[in-house]
Amino acid sequence: MKAAFNLKSLLIGSVLTLFVFLAIGASLNGPPQVDRFRIATSANHLFVIDTTTGQVWGKYVIPRQDMQDQDFMGPRLPSEKD
């Protein structure tokens, strides 16, 4: 009788644990973040577009020169002070 009780408890515990894991997995399963950033170029321009926020970074590029702009990769979202 004692072995049957332990087997019953083990089975109930396993089922409840499985249910908890499935519930947590279902709640954390959001849509994947795919294609957030897009890059567009032309002969003299470079654009990086954040499709989530709509923010666009743009840079005019002179052909055959290094593109060195310290502010290009900086944050573009408004700060908390604004």
Query: 67, 57 in Cβ contact below 8 A?
Result: no
Query: 40-61 pLDDT, tens per residue?
Result: 988 888 899 988 888 998 888 7
Query: 9-26 pLDDT, tens per residue?
Result: 888 999 999 988 888 776
- d(C-alpha 51, C-alpha 57), whole Å: 12
CA dihedral 11→15→20→21, nearest 10 degrees, is 100
Q: Check: pTM over 0.75? Answer yes or no.
A: no
Query: 39, 54 in Cβ contact below 8 A?
Result: no
Coil vs helix vs strand at 9? helix
